[in-house]
Structure 1
């Protein structure tokens, strides 16, 4: 029978891990899971407040999704994307049903990175322009253009793609614009964006690519008017607006799409993660009518062997039906409004180490600081001790820089959410 030690040793000796120095790794061994919980090979159980990589929205081992994958495997395991496939078509239809009416087609990819890659390609071909503007505080994936569109440190060793320009998006807690209100932050960030467009030359800019709510960068819920203002700038200068919903989509924010809560409709939507909770690798691009029809007589120079893979498509169909039938989107919204939001606000009032709390649905960040007045981020060593404390208590956290992201599955119950937040409260109480 495998043990944590044997599995971890085997993993470290054979697997090359992403974003890591390999020699210091000590990966947590996960044996299985169910709903909002996972357990290791030695039987220790964890409440998953990470959703792995913020993707297991429907929870672990949902029986309807597992059964759909098994049934599809018995029918047809794979098919070339050039052929028509009923399961793929149904998956596309269900996704389009949840999007604004302007969207007509879905291009399936293997995940979120190549969804953004192909959305950028579509925008460039549609506009005949080259440049892509994105935020410094962002993550769009680890393929050629997607990683250069990314704003964080992971871009810098990988800058091989052309035509990328970055701007600062709104982040009032650490404002780049000397703003003191959300309205000021929004207006000044929009002015900054417009000046960059003008300075780069509007007729050179193909797309603005932004996460509707930046996720890994800190769950930065946009202030009032920002996304609407970006839409207006895109229209004014003939630029394609791509909203990256890879992390924020499909119940994460308590909406089908995060932009449903804002007065905006993009031209292209990228998705992955929550559309099937990562049970089988998949992503895609939702394409609005004008862009889709641009390729009616023109060849789209892109494709993937596993585009719309039948097993992935079956998992999407089952996931979207289960989410609708079981009220998963509504549950995420209710948990955020009635449990996570109020409890984190209470914790912020009692723990000096909490600088700010922000979020929606099951998509929250707790920003930890060494000093509230200076807003100096909590150091890496202290964050490491906090992570170890939470793991020891049976809570699997998502930690990024000086933040704890509260991102449990969208199926989490109020009792489970209360329990996880109580463990966080306890860990913060003994932190310093």
Structure 2
């Protein structure tokens, strides 16, 4: 019977579901019927380690009882209410978020997810400054709505370039440096010089904001080199430009900190979030607004809104998630597991497998960059990456594979034993490919 349910699930999916970022013919997707912590399973009970956290969002793990209870309890009180009301759950959720933000941030604008958080942060920056252009990096992903996808730097931008006023530049990436750098310090210095020249060439008086992922995620877990984000802040201040830091993927425990930018001596003007704030149990996102930007709209209408902004079920899930993460030391676990388990395990794999060109990351936010040749750093081709992905899945691990990289991004609640088990699977799949 359980095998029949898996077959039915696949049949219904192929017949009726249109999937994102995919050619639809011939899709063969894993069936997920349930989960707990860092493990998921199908209807037949076949278990897999979830080292993707789905789309790097299930930070608290699957089916955390505190979050499930918070949603259930709120549904029994009030399942939905519009944003033009005051609601206790919404206010409590916002309070918990700003308590973890830097000083000088008092308000949250809630959205339905990360992409529309980016949209509204861009809108706020343009209205606050009276300027139009938004600068973001080529190696970035900011979402799939109008301005967010054009702010994105990767290939998904190109068929969707309908929004105005976007300019791209290169951020730091020492392993594949655009600046002929040979050290992290040199990469930082030259990347900052490049950014300032782009600003000067585009006309500073027309630039509303710099939009950066604090730690670029989908683009490769690109840890900022020393001084880079602080340098970006200094350049932005010099030209009167706002700094928007995208914490949609990197925030709420993923790097072993509540916010990724806390590790890089920088405070932005606007912070976007989603994913990890409630681990995606209910769709939600938002913008944490600095007091200076928020004051712009004290006597001026903010021309934006969403029917489900601050939805009570989403708000309740945020309260449940953040309270549990605090009381259970989940953010601290992410930091420790990165330092003591994931990092050492991946570096050991790199010593054994010449396919691994570089390992980088922090917390539960890591990447193995795979190459056909370490000397030339030629990326491992897509066919080989496809075989590796199938090898990982067949051995019981749900991976996050992007371009020539395997992103090692389990939930923040992952255990040392689960990391060790995953390392064995990565080792076996890489050996089979080699």
Tell me what 1:90 maps to: 92
Deviation string 1:260-295 (CA, Å, 9 cap, x unpaired) is: 111000000000000000000000000000000110
Deviation string 1:31-53 (CA, Å, 9 cap, x unpaired) is: 01001100012221000000000
Distance 2:427 2:29 in 1: 25
| Partner SS, residue 421 of structure 1 | helix
TM-score (norm 1): 0.99
Distance 1:35 1:203 in 2: 49
Tell me what 2:40 maps to: 38
Distance 2:29 2:87 in 1: 39
| Partner SS, residue 132 of structure 1 | strand
| Partner SS, residue 23 of structure 1 | coil
Instruction: Give ranges in structure 1 of 5+ residues lacking alignment.
Output: none
Tell me what 1:360 maps to: 362
Distance 2:390 2:6 in 1: 16
Tell me what 1:127 maps to: 129
Residue 120 of structure 1 and its aligned partner are, at CA, apart by 0.1
Tell me what 2:421 maps to: 419
Distance 1:419 1:150 in 2: 35
Find 1:148's aligned residue among 147, 150, 157. Answer: 150
| Partner SS, residue 108 of structure 2 | strand
Residue 3 of structure 1 and its aligned partner are, at CA, apart by 2.4
The answer to whether the aligner puts 1:196 opposite 2:202 as a matched pair is: no
Aligned ranges 1:265-414 → 2 under 5 Å: 265-414=267-416
After the TM superposition, which of the residue ranges 269-278 and 379-388 deviates more from structure 2? Answer: 379-388
Distance 2:427 2:100 in 1: 37
| Partner SS, residue 25 of structure 2 | helix
Distance 1:221 1:3 in 2: 42
| Partner SS, residue 338 of structure 1 | helix
Tell me what 2:240 maps to: 238
| Partner SS, residue 367 of structure 1 | strand
Find 1:163's aligned residue among 159, 165, 180. Answer: 165
Tell me what 1:257 maps to: 259
Residue 24 of structure 1 and its aligned partner are, at CA, apart by 2.4
| Partner SS, residue 358 of structure 2 | strand
Tell me what 2:215 maps to: 213
Residue 240 of structure 1 and its aligned partner are, at CA, apart by 0.6
Residue 90 of structure 1 and its aligned partner are, at CA, apart by 0.2
Distance 2:133 2:104 in 1: 24
Distance 2:25 2:356 in 1: 33
Tell me what 2:18 maps to: 16
Instruction: Give ranges in structure 2 of 5+ residues lacking alignment.
Output: none
Residue 344 of structure 1 and its aligned partner are, at CA, apart by 0.9
Distance 1:420 1:3 in 2: 27
Aligned-CA RMSD value: 0.6
Residue 425 of structure 1 and its aligned partner are, at CA, apart by 1.1
Aligned length: 432
